[in-house]
Every structure is written in C-alpha cells, then in structure tokens.
Structure 1
Amino acid sequence: MDGFRDPQLATIWTRDGVMVTAEVFVNAGYGYDVRCEVVGSRGTSSLVPTPSVSTRIAGVDGVPVRDDFVAHFADAYRIELSAWAEAALTRQVEGPSAWDGYVANVAAEAGVASLASGVRESVDPGDRPALYA
C-alpha cells in the first residue's frame, strides 16, 4: 500500500483504561503473515500458524508463508458463511451486525487520522441505535 511507512505501531486505549498495542507491516515482501499475542497479568495466549507442509532442504527447516489473506483464512470464511446461511434459514441473527461494522470503520478512520495528525484521536461512533439492542 503506497503512502504508509512500515512498520506501524498503534497504541489503543479502551474506555476501561486497558492499553492495547497493534503492530502492522503492510508491505511485507515475503508473504501474508498474521500473528496475534495477548499478554495479560496472569498469562499469554498466541495464535499459532498452521502450515500444512514443513520442508527440510539444504539445512533449513521451514514452512511456506502464504501470499494472500484469502488462502490464509479460507477455512474461517467457509465456517462463517455456513453459520450465516444456517442462521438465515432459521431466521436467527448471529454474529456481528452492521453497527459493529460501522464502529470498526469509525475506529479505522480515527487511526488513519492519527497517522496524519501525530496525536491521539478519539473514537466516537455516537449512540448505538435501539435496532441493535
């Protein structure tokens, strides 16, 4: 993505005063790499990559790094779509709402504004409509 310098580090503060850090490297030339680690006062939790094949060649033990997010999340997308279709058949609402998507976009917009301004930007989506209660 042009216009962004890598890496980016965001410091996010929740309403409850919890600090979250997120590191992003948009232009990784070696492939699509997703990692997540949650560090808490009583322990940690990490996403572990699940490569399908590990190779040992010329003294190197390695795993392939996918080159796009579609292949990386294919199983998750399939499971999500299946759950959505099943919920639609039973006329039940499950998962994130349009409001959740809106709030995510407001947060992303504040993040981009912070890149430009260099200061903390607040995230204020306004009041949640009663429709989503």
Structure 2
Amino acid sequence: MGDAGAGQTAKLCNQAIVTATVTAIAEAVGLAQASGIDAARLADALAGGWADSVLLQTFVPRMTSGGHQPMGALSTFQKDVDAIADAARDTGAVMPVSATVQQVLRLGAAQGLAGADFAAFIDIVRPGNGRGTAQ
C-alpha cells in the first residue's frame, strides 16, 4: 500500500469507518425507538438498501435485543479513535466525524460503559435515557 506504516494507517481508516458506522446505527435505532416503530425490524426494513451492511445486520439485533456474546469493549473503540485523532493531527487530516465519535465514546466512559460491549453505543445515544447526546 505504501511506505512503512501504511498497513497501520489502513487499519485506522477501517476503524474510522467502523466506529462512525456503529455510532450512526445506534442513533438510527434510538430514533426508531423514540418514534415508536419496532427497531428490531429496522435491519430487515433496510436490507438491500444503501444503508445495508454487515455492521447494520450485526448491530441492530444486538442493540435491540441484547443477550449476545460480547464482541469487544467500547474501550477498544476509544483506543482506536484516539489513535485516529493522533494520526489526523500528525498529518493535518480533517476528521470531524471521528472527533464526534471520540466525544461520544468519552461520554460513554464517563457513564461507566468503557467495559461494555460495542453494542452499548445504543445506551449512550438512546433518547430519553437522561444522558444521551441527541438532546
């Protein structure tokens, strides 16, 4: 892909996409729940459309029903977005979405969710929980 460190940069690019997408999925699930629609059916409703993805099909069920085997901790995502922020600062790349995800993860950590599963993004942004970001 390029000079030394290119693989690490590619991994950071992957994680920028993954963390932003999982955050957007959590917001969409929260909006669906706040609107009174069956958020558990959201993945099926969006299947085949532009928003459909492995992440959508994986995380909507995890965020709406729980009880799944943990995939990893939010603290891992925090480590990744901190590394993304460092790389952006070092290179002059402008990454406002990743910066927002970083703030959402910091909010989750302040709420005691750093050790929670990736699906706990929904607990950070869920409307009406008194601590979400969509207020």
TM-score, length basis structure 1: 0.29
Q: Which structure has greater helix proportion?
A: 2
Larger radius of gyration: 1
The structure carrying a bigger strand percent of its residues is 1
* TM norm structure 2: 0.29
Identify which of structures 1 and 2 has the higher relative contact order when contacts are C-alpha pairs closer than 8 Å and 6+ apart. Answer: 2
